[in-house]
């Protein structure tokens, strides 16, 4: 058995490669962007590739390559079930509704007329989101019909940049206030630079237009609950909102004590992950009158920081295990086991 790993320093591949070296798994490093990648993978049983939304190239080809390799009988992490809805809140809306998962009520419109009709019938505030973007970028609270109308006009006219430079700079100031470190000062300087010099992602990303997406605003949540399910393990992180802000994702204010987490929520996360047939999924939950509701999902997450700070995990029977964690090791462990079974 041999696997291929798309080697991209700083991504999950760092740890997948260490795992292979430690466990004497036969692997080769590949570059999924090579024109003859299909041919290069001829001698492999599996491919692991940690692509994400800030790599424009991956967004152009990762799903297509994955589906094609699955046709060839090559196992991929993340597989189609795990990744097709990644960084796509519109896709997640359809999918979570289809499997009857408890999604915070979401709305999508493909014409200005339908969207404008809807705002006359609905209540505010609502949360406006672009379909893509991590860490609360591209998310804002819409308090009035008037603000909603403006958003809709923009969505069906010039569209939205997938990167919000001003919001990004604001976020850097927020990190500075939180950390007061030299690093966060550097980030602010970088943020000012970014006002004038777009990133590679921004140069290649498309303007978001032709649709508009809203989600019900669920009040009285001063934190959200992030649960990551990998195979039969579940990890929890409670993320508090920024001061005077409704967004928890990206705040970096986290707690991990197991007693903070609602067992119903964990049970629900396991059940949904099973229905989705996903190998790795992070759920963001908020509470609506004691019922956990999903805000969004993602197959991947930052490698260091929160996910490494978890102090243990629950198994499928909701038993808690105190242990230090390496989520990327769990992924590859499951992947290799699945391959061996095959």
Site residues for other proteins per CB under 8 A? 33, 35, 37-39, 56-57, 60-61, 64-65, 67-69, 71-72, 74, 84-85, 88, 90-91, 94-95, 97-99, 107-111, 114, 118, 204, 206-207, 209-211, 275-276
Residue closer to other proteins, measured from CB, 203 or 341? 203
For residue 214, the surrounding DSSP H or E stretch is strand 212-216
Q: Cα–Cα distance between 245 and 298 in angstroms, integer?
A: 22
Residue closer to other proteins, measured from CB, 158 or 222? 158
The CB-of-95 to other proteins minimum distance in angstroms stands at 4
Residue closer to other proteins, measured from CB, 57 or 186? 57
The CB-of-155 to other proteins minimum distance in angstroms stands at 10
The CB-of-92 to other proteins minimum distance in angstroms stands at 9
The CB-of-135 to other proteins minimum distance in angstroms stands at 22
In the block, which residue shows the tokens 């939304």?
A: 53
Residue closer to other proteins, measured from CB, 112 or 185? 112
Nearest to 282 by CA among 249, 322, 257: 249
Find the DSSP H helices in the chain. Answer: 13-22, 37-40, 56-72, 80-83, 89-98, 112-121, 145-155, 165-179, 182-196, 200-204, 263-276, 306-309, 327-341
* Phi, psi of 175, rounded to the nearest 5 degrees: -65, -40
The CB-of-126 to other proteins minimum distance in angstroms stands at 13
Q: Cα–Cα distance between 187 and 208 in angstroms, integer?
A: 26
Cis peptide leading into 125, omega within 30 of 0?
yes
The CB-of-37 to other proteins minimum distance in angstroms stands at 8
Residue closer to other proteins, measured from CB, 47 or 306? 47
The answer to whether the beta carbons of residues 286 and 337 sit under 8 Å apart is no
The answer to whether the beta carbons of residues 264 and 317 sit under 8 Å apart is no
Residue closer to other proteins, measured from CB, 83 or 307? 83
């Amino acid at each position: 058995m041999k696997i291929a790993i798309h080697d991209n320093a700083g991504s999950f591949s760092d740890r997948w490669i260490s795992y292979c070296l430690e466990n004497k798994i036969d692997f080769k490093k590949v570059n999924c962007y090579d024109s003859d990648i299909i041919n290069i993978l001829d001698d492999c049983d599996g491919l692991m590739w940690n692509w994400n939304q800030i790599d424009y190239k991956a967004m152009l080809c990762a799903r297509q390559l994955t589906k094609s390799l699955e046709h060839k009988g090559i196992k991929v992490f993340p597989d189609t079930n795990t990744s097709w809805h990644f960084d796509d809140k519109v896709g997640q809306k359809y999918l979570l509704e289809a499997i009857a998962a408890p999604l915070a009520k979401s709305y999508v419109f493909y014409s200005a007329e339908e969207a404008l009709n809807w705002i006359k019938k609905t209540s505010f505030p609502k949360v406006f989101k672009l379909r893509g973007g991590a860490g609360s970028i591209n998310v804002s609270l819409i308090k009035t019909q008037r603000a909603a109308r403006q958003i809709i006009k923009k969505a069906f006219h010039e569209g939205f940049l997938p990167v919000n430079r001003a919001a990004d700079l604001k976020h850097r100031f927020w990190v500075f206030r939180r950390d007061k470190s030299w690093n966060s000062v550097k980030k602010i300087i970088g943020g000012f630079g970014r006002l004038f010099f777009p990133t590679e992602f921004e140069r290649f990303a498309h303007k978001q237009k032709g649709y508009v997406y809203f989600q019900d605003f669920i009040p009285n949540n001063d934190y959200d609950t992030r649960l990551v399910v990998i195979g039969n393990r579940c990890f929890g992180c409670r993320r508090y909102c920024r001061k005077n802000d409704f967004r928890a994702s990206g705040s970096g204010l986290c707690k991990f004590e197991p007693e903070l987490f609602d067992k119903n929520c964990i049970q629900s996360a396991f059940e949904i992950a099973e229905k989705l047939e996903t190998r790795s999924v992070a759920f963001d939950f908020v509470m609506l009158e004691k019922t956990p509701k999903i805000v969004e999902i993602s197959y991947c997450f930052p490698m260091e920081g929160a996910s490494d700070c978890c102090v243990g995990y629950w198994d499928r029977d909701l038993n808690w295990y105190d242990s230090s964690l390496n989520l990327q090791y769990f992924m590859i462990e499951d992947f290799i086991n699945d391959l061996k079974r095959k």
